[in-house]
Each structure stands twice: as structure tokens, then as C-alpha cells.
Amino acid sequence: MFKGSIVALITPFRNGRVDEDAYKSFIEWQIAEGTEGLVPVGTTGESPTLSHEEHKRVVEMCVEVANGRVPVIAGAGSNSTEEAVELTRHAKQAGADAALVVTPYYNKPTQAGMYAHFKAVHDAADIPIIIYNIPPRSVIDMSVETMARLAELPNIIGVKDATSDLNRPILTRIAAGKDFCQLSGEDGTAIPFLAAGGVGCISVTANIAPKLCSEMHRAWRERDIDRAMDIQDRLMPVHSAMFCESNPVPVKYAASLLGKCASDVRLPLVELTEPSKEKVRAALTKAGILS
């Protein structure tokens, strides 16, 4: 069900509120451009600064607009197990196809604590769950062994791997089996990750280059390796520019250049600096995304 170019959606804001019209229009554009899956309220969607009411509304809008055309993987994680359960249950109620649950940040649980956290969420909500393993933000790193144990639970179906460790998908495939859905969380390593056993990427860059990202993944699946590599090379400076400052500040500025939404972010994130704006604009222009 989950493969190819899956976008980690931005959440447009205007005057301090979620810009619902821009968000719905943005999702329609993503689907029209070939994006194969939608992830609302992840890191790129600024989930840390959305209220629970906003979080749930954004998920509901995404499911409504997608209308079954592409799968929706709703962000539902928290460093509070009780809160993660609540958000995962809501993802199920809203009609999402899966929930993306991050490893508990800040608390720094052990491997045993991570297992217990995910098992509690699994047992409380009847929906497919994708583990989000992102050590640079959560501080902790789920081991391959813990992930393989969790993969034995029927609704723990895969991982968004943002470790940048290309040994990891191979080791995970061996430990958890070929049916365990491995999605890259790093645009820059998407093609090597596919070669190592992955099936797709939950992408930041797809917000502003959805057609190119989807074409790259389709080329890979069709064994047109030269085409996939050409697109990867074309997009590599864009991937870099999207992280010149904290995500999602650069990608929201890029989206504003394309006329898709305002560049507004919520504190403690702030507007992109002028040198970074120049870097983003130059990368988009060089890639042919911005004329």
C-alpha cells in the first residue's frame, strides 16, 4: 500500500491560523503531480506547535481531500504514550490508512521502554503503525533488534528511517523480513535506500517538486536506473537547500515562491534568513522548479 514518493506535508498558516483553503488546494496539487501518499502533521507539518484541535482538523482535512485516491499516513506520535494513543485512535477514526508514530523524544527511554511504548499504542488502536526512527531529533535510536520484535505485532507494519545509515535497511530486512515496509526519511539517500531494500521515501522535497520526486521513484520501479539517477542528481542541491535551516522553514519559503502558501511558521521557528533565501531560490532555479 505504501510506496514511492510520499510527501511529508507542510501545514500552511496565515495570520497565525491554519490556512485551510491553501492546505486543501496544496493536497489536490500533490495528487495531480503524482505523489503516491500523504503524511499530515509530521515534523514538516509543524506538529509540535499545533494544538490537539488543529492537529486533528488537519488530519481530517487531508483524509477528506484525498478521498481514497492515495493513502494517508497520519502523524500521531508523542513522547507521552497516553497522548500518542489518543492521536493514533483519532487517526483511525478520521479514516487514515496508517499512523506514523515517532520514537519518544526528550524522555530518552531504553529499548525496553520504546518497545513498551509502541506496544501500548498498537494494542490501543486498530490501525497500521509505521515507526518513525529519527535520532537527530528524538535523541534515541531504536535498535534493529527492538524493531524486529515490534514487527512481530500484526499492526506494526514498517518504519520511516531517518538515521541516514544505509546499513540499516539491509539489517532490518534480514531481521524483520521482506514484508516490513521500509520508507526512507532522508531525501538525499532515497535512491541508495531503495537499493538497500526500501520501497519509498517520506519526502520534504516532494512538497515543492512532487512531479520530479514521483517520476524518480517510478523510474526506479521500472528499472530505468539512469533516469532515476539523473533526477536524483538534479534534485540533490534542492535536498540540501531544504535543510539549510531548520525544517520546515526552508521548504515553506520554497512553497511561497511557487505561490502555494505563505511562508509563515510558528515560534520558536522564525523566518528564513536572507542568505538562506538566496540559497533556496538558487537551488529551485537550477533544478528548473522555479523559472
Q: Which residues are catalytic, by number?
A: 132, 160
Q: Which residues are within 8 A (CB) of 167 and not within 5 positions of it... i.e. 6 or more apart?
A: none
Taking a C-beta distance cutoff of 8 angstroms, is the pair 121, 103 a contact?
no
Name the β-bridge partners of 161. Answer: 133, 184
- What are 172's three cell numbers? 532490518
- Report the alpha-carbon distance of residue 88 to residue 35 in Å, rounded: 23
Q: Is 135 helix (H, G, I), strand (E, B) or coil?
A: helix
State the DSSP string of 1-43: ---EEEEE----EETTEE-HHHHHHHHHHHHHTT--EEE-SST
The H or E element spanning position 235 is helix 225-241
Cα–chain-centroid distance for residue 222?
Answer: 24
Q: Is 77 helix (H, G, I), strand (E, B) or coil?
A: coil
Q: For CA atoms 205, 207, 209, 214, give the dihedral sign.
A: positive
For residue 189, CA distances in Å to 12, 31, 160, 183 come to 27, 23, 13, 11
Name the β-bridge partners of 37. Answer: 6
Taking a C-beta distance cutoff of 8 angstroms, is the pair 192, 166 a contact?
yes
- The Cβ of residue 106 has, within 10 Å, a number of other Cβ atoms equal to 10
- Report the alpha-carbon distance of residue 199 to residue 37 in Å, rounded: 12
State the DSSP string of 244-256: SSSTTHHHHHHHH
